[in-house]
Amino acid sequence: MWESWGSNMVVKVKWFYHPEETKLGKRQSDGKNALYQSCHEDENDVQTISHKCQVVGREHYEQMTRGRKHQDRQDLYYLAGTYDPTTGRLVTADGVPILC
């Protein structure tokens, strides 16, 4: 975070995509809280941030959601892979390309 010339607080963010936001769309293997990381970055006014979330690996996500404490957390997601919004290319977290 930093202060811009106009005295606004700015933050640089890296975008994550829900499976249904990708060109391929949601697949059966995409779980409820899957996210795809992208190389897409933006600078935004901090006031545009609605809330923070936690993105963890799938195995860690499964462990966390087994416990009662984290079962109903709507701010907890797992990293399903990477997505390039310019080409539509999806790659699983294991490095396997997903063909469209």
Q: What is the pLDDT of residues 4-34, one digit of tens each?
A: 778 788 988 889 999 999 988 888 788 889 9
More confident residue, 49 or 90: 90
pLDDT (0 to 100) of residue 71 = 60
Tell me if 78 sits within 8 A of 29, measured CB to CB.
no
Whether the predicted pLDDT of 70 surpasses 70: no
Q: Look up the pTM and report it.
A: 0.82
Residue 41 belongs to what domain range?
Answer: 2-98
Task: Say if CB 37 and CB 82 are below 8 A apart.
Answer: yes
**Domain with 85 in it: what CATH number?**
2.30.30.490
Structure tokens at 93: 């977290």
Number of independent structural domains in the chain: 1
The strand pair at 54-56 and 89-92 is best described as unpaired
Q: How far apart are CA 54 and CA 41, in angstroms?
A: 18
Phi, psi of 39 (to 5 degrees): -90, 0
Whole-number CA gyration radius for the chain: 16
For position 81, what pLDDT does the model report? 95
Q: Is the pLDDT at 72 greater than 90, yes or no?
A: no
